[in-house]
A and B are shown apart, each in its own frame.
Chain A
């Protein structure tokens, strides 16, 4: 066995072990999406309350919270009270909340909205195109869009009130750097 081969074997094994140790710091289910840090995509979708289409375009300097949900999604129901409280708090201000129904029937979505006290605008993403353009993996997922129209962060899994208000307050700050306001992740 030549010397270089012996050395190569030892180095390869050492590298393997280092990689495996580093792998412990990793959460395999925590996958980042591709849209954070990029301009939020515009969309036009029918509203659940039947009042016609809602167009979300280039934000005119408002902070936006996009929440993807469905009636079949149990963690969505869990996080809903936090969303309701946060919406009540910012109702009068210029923060925009939009709920986006994901992979669900219109009727079930309407019933969910009625039963759970969702009063912010909700729309039906019936073909999954908007979820795709935002890079949604599985719901619930909440996207925060800064005044500059850039997606500042994405929260996966049920969100709590503190995370919501902290992110919104931070994004409303005058010279906020969106990326500092909310980290990507959750669950």
Chain B
């Protein structure tokens, strides 16, 4: 039995089992049947194991270069390095759908064994929803549309992975992160649907899925940053974000999920915005599917768009089914979801969260319509047009600044409303910090009002965070007689949700400063040089000299490498940007040479060269200030999310139990 047989058999066996489990869970939820639940639990676990087996089989087929499997023949070659062979699992459509399926099955198994214990009826209904989704994906991977194990007459050697995907080890990082983020949001969605189906207006589903939502949001966010890092290091144009449809597809659910993570607090504290929160969960989930559809069906052109396949209509059908069912359910249950009470004062935390939500949703709608606008216009009039960076930058930057502002204001305001004295106490230091930020921006030569405003708002938010930490630490030192460091530790441990959130805010601030500085301060110079000559390219205080230009042969590819020596007051570096030729690609792939330092990156690209005698090369140099801090900001966001997601000591779980006892008894 080959790996492919094993994989095919595992997937074929998992499909009926998932259908059975879905039916059993639905029955168990409707009839409160213990045996049904047990059956559904075991099916969920077994489905996960079987799909896991299929993933192992796919890796086995890849590593043994079994070219009788079409996927392997297309995405692997004998001389593909082992590392890229292993990660080829997500290098193309079928494999990434398989990865998606196994993550979903894993989350489902978790809910089956943990979730159904905590909240039996809600959890069991959610399990039925999740198993329904698993069924759909199993259906996908067992039809020709996305079957990863299609067999062919084996060629002598395979095509090898897509050149862009085998050019950099970062490829190992962002796709699984993004998929995890996308897929884990299925759990809050399934609970929301379950709560709608059961007609339970309570906020128990929120509590049950809070951590899932947070983790999924964080993975998506870190995945987006890792993806932009990849695109910066691989695509070779010196930027990290191009408003490409795939980037848009990833940022949209992240934006809505961010709105949700905040408005969910309003529901927890004040039992308001129930309909709104359900809508946000549904929208987030629907956008993950829509994004997958847009980028995997070939209807939009993108760096990442896989070749057109029959999967498009299936994914569209899935999207339509999800949206129609969940919006239908929501509209049906609206009367039960009406809030009792209003928000209250405009200067209260809940009001700021509400405005913040409005801005997030507006930003998302803008990205969505911008991405779809060429399709809409072509459908209406046949005209072809483009919506790109100039549009998105101009529209999203002001919205992002508004969000940065609200991010500083919100946490500083108490629930219900603030008095004038509170306002002064909370905002004097941050506003002074904003003034310093603005002056600093002008002093370091930031160009344009948006960049200066970013500095001011970043200082504003950073000051609010520092102020919060300082106050928290001081309070603990007085009350518990702790040292500053211990106090900080116990703040993070005992109230991780709040202080982890502040750390996330700090990460966003770092990223915002990095984006504003790198966008406004990049210097670009291009020059044609002769190797070995004394001619210099001058860019941003650095001298760049071309010392050599040489062809290099590697087993799986050919390169032309430009050897550069960078010298300047603050740096001495050797860089080697290259053009890479893969046997299966007609165009060369640019591989930039990057010197990454804290204050700036020197980003060099080999643009063109003399292919006959290697007598000249055109080099483009970008000096990009602070860009590394964007990745660091992403990391800080991740750390903050971990702090916020870690289980907290007893005090809080007792409080949560208290809330639950006050909620209506189940059933």
Contact = CB atoms under 8 A, between A and B. Distances in A.
A42 interface: no
A29 interface: yes
Given A9-B327, A10-B327, A26 B586 contact: no
Among B275, B313, B316, B334, the most chain A Cβ lie within 10 Å of the Cβ of B316
B511 to A, nearest CB: 30
Interface in B290-323: 293, 297-301, 305, 312-313, 316, 319-320, 323
B650 interface: no
Given A1-B275, A10-B327, A74-B586, A23 B334 contact: no
B320 A17 contact: yes
Q: How large is the interface on A (under 10, 10 to 19, 20 to 34, 35 or more residues)?
A: 20 to 34
A105 interface: yes
B444 interface: no
Contact of A20 (B316, B331, B586, B611): B316
Contacts of B305: 28
B375 A32 contact: no
B376 interface: yes
A21 interface: yes
B372 interface: yes
Residue among B293, B297, B320, B612 with most chain A CB within 10 A: B320
B375 A26 contact: yes
Contacts of B384: 31-32
Given A17-B320, A19-B376, A24 B313 contact: yes
Nearest to A103: B608
Given A28-B301, A105-B612, A22 B375 contact: yes
A84 to B, nearest CB: 22
Interface residues of B, number: 27
A141 to B, nearest CB: 16
A13 interface: yes
Given A1-B334, A13-B323, A105-B612, A28 B298 contact: yes
A35 B101 CA distance: 47
A6 interface: yes
B657 interface: no
A115 interface: no
A102 B578 CA distance: 23
A60 interface: no
A23 B320 contact: no
Given A1-B334, A32-B384, A26 B378 contact: yes
Contacts of A29: 301
Contacts of A31: 384
Nearest to B297: A24
A105 B612 CA distance: 10
A10 B326 CA distance: 12
Contacts of B301: 28-29
Contacts of A22: 375, 379
A6 B586 contact: no
B318 to A, nearest CB: 12
Nearest to A25: B379
Interface in B268-307: 275, 293, 297-301, 305
Contacts of A17: 316, 320, 323
A23 B379 contact: yes
A28 B312 CA distance: 14
A20 B327 contact: no
Interface of A: 1, 6, 9-10, 13, 16-24, 26, 28-29, 31-32, 74, 105, 107
- CB-CB nearest 3 A-B residue pairs: A28-B301, A23-B299, A22-B379
9 contacts: A1-B275, A17-B320, A19-B372, A19-B379, A20-B293, A24-B312, A26-B378, A28-B305, A29-B301
Given A17-B316, A105-B611, 11 more contacts: A6-B334, A13-B324, A19-B375, A19-B376, A22-B379, A24-B297, A24-B299, A26-B375, A26-B379, A29-B301, A32-B384
